[in-house]
Chain A
Amino acid sequence: MTQKNWEVVIGLETHAQLSTLSKIFSGASTAFGAEPNTQACPVDLGFPGVLPVPNRAAVERAIRFGLAVGAHIAPVSIFARKNYFYPDLPKGYQISQMELPVVQGGSLRIQTKAGEKVVNLTRAHLEEDAGKSLHEDFQGQSGIDLNRAGTPLLEIVTEPEMRSSEEAVAYARALHALVRWIEICDGNMQEGSFRCDANVSVRPLGQKEFGTRCEIKNLNSFRFLERAIEFEIKRQIELIEDGGKVVQETRLYDPDRDETRSMRSKEDAHDYRYFPDPDLPPLCVSTEWIAEVAAGMPELPEVRKVRYETELGLSAYDAGLLTATREAGEYFEALQSAAKGVDAKLCANWVNGELSAALNRAGLELTDAKVSATKLAGLLVRVGDGTISGKIAKELFEIMWSEGGEVDALIESRGLRQISDTGALEVVLKELISKHPTQVEEYRGGKEKVFGFFVGQAMKATQGKANPAQLNELLKILLAGD
């Protein structure tokens, strides 16, 4: 197989569960993990005579998303019925949006090894989730839990613009970070709050028409997304090179075997018979409402990244890390506001350096950091005002991480205050100079490297507590000679 003669074409459809308290068309709770069917009300159960009433918060979240990706927010959009027969969908249709979705267009910037790329979105529409079918343990029957039926989803659809599994994963990660940043979805992939379907096809390099595509359903981790696409690319190329033809079908990824398998072919594909839902008049979103939502939006990661670079003077790399996730963003903002007067670059270095290393070592997420933003701010304030050196700060950080404690108390109890008393430092330095006449000669003879030797010795003698700036200054004077 020679993958280099082929171009891969990928489009993603992502279902993001919207973080509302109640369902999209009923007042039943959306809380995860409840006893089966205790959160399924007559609307969710499809009882005769009930009427759906849309949840304002679900629409508001769709608007937030639209604003975040620079999309057109439709002033009028239509709910449609998507008809199919399955027991986890008691009404016999899913309420979705077809011809006129609430969010149209927009784009998302992604980063790959090759650089930056813009992925255009086709649309994002509101719909309800289905229930869950359980097939084990029921002796020839299936058990149905309808707690999830009616949970609000935003289905976000891209143009077929990704060209590798790497780009697809980069897009999925960027989208995941964004929906969490703007707080419309908790992004919990284990619980199914964020799941992707990948449309994959291949075509000979240079060919204009798309190849026949397969849709891989329900990928609920970035790793599975990558593995499934990789397998599918290889399968399709091998099939075509062996003289076969790709059949349009829906496939499932099996993580245990690391392969995709046919779920249903086009002949069995559902004919959804979409039509406008007569129970739901058009969804109207006024410009006033959009403006109101826009006013309540948090600063978007891209905007903040630019601000960190221009206003705080951070490198693009640091600014990128600090705006990559909502947690990183919140931590750094909290640190910044608590660490008054401390250089932003110092703060960034600590978050992306010591803190990130400590998290990696402990295998923890930022939300579980043993040193809070406020505590780290306390530490950095003491570095900033010269009470402790950077080296001591690192030691203190380790202590705070493993044993806890407040910075100032630790500095006092462990006697770590930096020596800023010129007299005391002078005594130490004079002794050093008299102990090392050879090195003093060398320095005076022009061998400036020896200066570092004296700094090291002085730090050793003071257990790292000498104020580095003061030490340098004083040492220069003393070495310059009698």
Chain B
Amino acid sequence: MRFTEEDVRRVARLSRLALEPKEIKGFQLDLSQILDLAEKLLAIDTSKVEPLAHPGSSSVFLRPDVVTEINQREAFQAVAPEVDRGLYLVPRVVE
């Protein structure tokens, strides 16, 4: 299997997912199969192909530097779980 249990735990931690120990085996299998699929693509010789970041040939549209947004804090904070003095409150985060 390409994915070890440790790999699964690491990816889960990066994704902030709390996995039950019994779920790990299943993800190990699923993720390994995804890697197997990706492996098939490696069989193609791409040495002469330009890397493609986006399909199509369009370039991004640029907007003029103008302030168009007005203060709508009240409306946005109406759907926030908790606010205080204009700040959004979240569980304490200190690195």
Contact assessment for B60 and A143 in the assembled complex, using a CB-CB cutoff below 8 Å: no
Contact assessment for A39 and B93 in the assembled complex, using a CB-CB cutoff below 8 Å: no
Contact assessment for B82 and A56 in the assembled complex, using a CB-CB cutoff below 8 Å: no
With A37-B77, A87-B93 as given contacts, are A27 and B62 in contact (CB-CB < 8 Å)? no
Contact assessment for B58 and A144 in the assembled complex, using a CB-CB cutoff below 8 Å: no
User: Can you name the residue of chain A whose Cβ is closest to the Cβ of B71?
Assistant: A38
Contact assessment for B76 and A45 in the assembled complex, using a CB-CB cutoff below 8 Å: yes
Residues 90 to 143 of chain A near chain B (Cβ within 8 Å): 99-100, 133-135, 138, 140-143
Whether a CB of chain A sits under 8 angstroms from the CB of B21 is no
Residues 1 to 50 of chain A near chain B (Cβ within 8 Å): 20-22, 26-29, 35-42, 45
A79, A144, A145, A271, most chain B CB atoms within 10 A? A144
User: Can you name the residue of chain B whose Cβ is closest to the Cβ of A264?
Assistant: B95
Contact assessment for A54 and B60 in the assembled complex, using a CB-CB cutoff below 8 Å: yes
With A140-B92, A278-B54, A280-B60 as given contacts, are A37 and B87 in contact (CB-CB < 8 Å)? yes
B-binding segment of A160-168, A281-289, A424-432, A467-475: A281-289
Contact assessment for A27 and B87 in the assembled complex, using a CB-CB cutoff below 8 Å: no
Whether a CB of chain A sits under 8 angstroms from the CB of B41 is no
User: Within the assembled complex, what's the spacing in Å between the Cα atoms of A144 and B88?
Assistant: 5
With A143-B85, A263-B95 as given contacts, are A56 and B65 in contact (CB-CB < 8 Å)? yes
Interface of A is mostly: loop
Residues 77 to 91 of chain A near chain B (Cβ within 8 Å): 78-79, 85-87
With A37-B76, A37-B77, A281-B58 as given contacts, are A87 and B90 in contact (CB-CB < 8 Å)? yes
Whether a CB of chain B sits under 8 angstroms from the CB of A55 is yes
Contact assessment for A53 and B88 in the assembled complex, using a CB-CB cutoff below 8 Å: no
Contact assessment for A39 and B71 in the assembled complex, using a CB-CB cutoff below 8 Å: yes
A-B interface contact total, Cβ < 8 Å? 129
Give every chain B residue within 8 A of A26 (Cβ-Cβ). Answer: 69
Give every chain B residue within 8 A of A40 (Cβ-Cβ). Answer: 73, 76
Contact assessment for A143 and B54 in the assembled complex, using a CB-CB cutoff below 8 Å: no
Nearest Cβ on chain A to B55's Cβ, whole angstroms: 9
Contact assessment for B62 and A54 in the assembled complex, using a CB-CB cutoff below 8 Å: yes
Give every chain B residue within 8 A of A281 (Cβ-Cβ). Answer: 54, 56, 58-60
Contact assessment for A142 and B90 in the assembled complex, using a CB-CB cutoff below 8 Å: yes
Contact assessment for B65 and A144 in the assembled complex, using a CB-CB cutoff below 8 Å: no
Contact assessment for B93 and A27 in the assembled complex, using a CB-CB cutoff below 8 Å: no
Interface of B is mostly: loop
Whether a CB of chain A sits under 8 angstroms from the CB of B66 is yes
Mask for B60-95, Cβ within 8 A of A = 1, else 0? 111111111101110011000010111111111111
Residues 38 to 75 of chain A near chain B (Cβ within 8 Å): 38-42, 45, 53-59
Q: How large is the interface on B (under 10, 10 to 19, 20 to 34, 35 or more residues)?
A: 35 or more
Whether a CB of chain B sits under 8 angstroms from the CB of A276 is yes
Nearest Cβ on chain A to B47's Cβ, whole angstroms: 17
Give every chain B residue within 8 A of A39 (Cβ-Cβ). Answer: 69, 71
Contact assessment for B60 and A283 in the assembled complex, using a CB-CB cutoff below 8 Å: yes
Nearest Cβ on chain A to B4's Cβ, whole angstroms: 16
Give every chain B residue within 8 A of A143 (Cβ-Cβ). Answer: 84-85, 87-89
Whether a CB of chain A sits under 8 angstroms from the CB of B42 is no
Whether a CB of chain A sits under 8 angstroms from the CB of B16 is yes
Give every chain B residue within 8 A of A100 (Cβ-Cβ). Answer: 53
Give every chain B residue within 8 A of A59 (Cβ-Cβ). Answer: 62
Whether a CB of chain B sits under 8 angstroms from the CB of A146 is yes
User: Can you name the residue of chain A whose Cβ is closest to the Cβ of B64?
Assistant: A56
Give which listed residue, B63, B76, B94, contacts A135 with CB less than 8 A.
Answer: B94
User: Within the assembled complex, what's the spacing in Å between the Cα atoms of A132 and B74?
Assistant: 19
Residues in chain B within 8 A of chain A (CB atoms): 14, 16, 51, 53-54, 56, 58-69, 71-73, 76-77, 82, 84-95
